[in-house]
Structure formats: structure tokens, C-alpha cells
Amino acid sequence: MPAHVHTVQTETFHVLSGVARYQLNGKDGILQAGEEVSFGPGIAHINPIPDGEEDLHLRVRVAPALDFHVILETIIKAAEKGDANPDGSIKPLHTAVLFNGVKSKVYMAGQPIWLQKATLPFLAFFGKLAGYKCGYPE
């Protein structure tokens, strides 16, 4: 997922095995097995991804959880079905429908949140017209 911020949630990533690369406020970081990083509300970040050949195993905690599972399930199912972009993200109109429909508010970093809040319902409207739903249909 590109650089983003959560307005009410904290994400904590704990590396169980492997090495992870992440970004926090535009600065790169590395995590080894046993280390963790937390991104609180309003903190711009890119979630940890594998750094090297070894598989990366993470434990992720989101607090408060709210409906964050809907976001994760949607991204994973879209990737499994081949409906994701090459970087693993979901299509922009699907993203608009999803982010407009969940309580777990996520916004792209580097763009004014007020502007995203104002335009998201309109983009979600067109996303629904294109057949996207909040979540991923079975």
C-alpha cells in the first residue's frame, strides 16, 4: 500500500522472522526478527514489506480494530483473484468504495485529508456504478 495515514487507529507490526523494510514520515527503516514498529493516528507510513530473499512473517495489531478486517480481506481476495494492481493495491474506484464504506478511515499521505474526505463520496458513487462493493464479493 502506498504511503497513507490512519485517523483513529494505530498499526503495530512485529517481525516474527525475516527482514522488513518500511517507511515512517518519508524515512526508510529496517526491522529484524523480534523488532516492531507502530504507526499512530496521523503518522504517514508505508507498511513493512520483505527486504531480501527470506520470507517475511509479521504479526499485525490494529487498535481499535473497528472494521479493519474488511480492508485486509478485500485487498487479499482481490490479489488472489487477479483483480489487484501489479503492486498489490486494489483499483482506485474500488479503493474509493471501500474506504468510503468502512469506519477504519485511511487516507493517502501527501494530499490534504479534507480534500480526500470531500471527494471520496463522489468517487465511491462512480465506483459503485462500475460494480465495486465495500469488500470483495465471494
Domains annotated for the chain, with CATH where assigned, are 4-63 (2.60.120.10), 68-129 (no CATH)
**DSSP string spanning 37-106?**
EEE-TT--EEEEEE-SSS--EEEEEEES-TTHHHHHHHHHHHHHTT-S-TTSPPPHHHHHHHHHH-SS-E
Ramachandran quadrant class, 25 (left: phi over 0; alpha: psi -120 to 50; beta: rest): left
- Residue whose entry in the numeric block shows the C-alpha cell 471527494: 119
Asked whether the beta carbons of 66 and 104 are under 8 A apart, the reply is yes
pLDDT value of position 138: 67
pTM for the whole structure = 0.86
Question: pLDDT under 70 in the chain at which residues?
Answer: 138
- What SS3 state is found at 1? coil
Asked whether the beta carbons of 86 and 30 are under 8 A apart, the reply is no
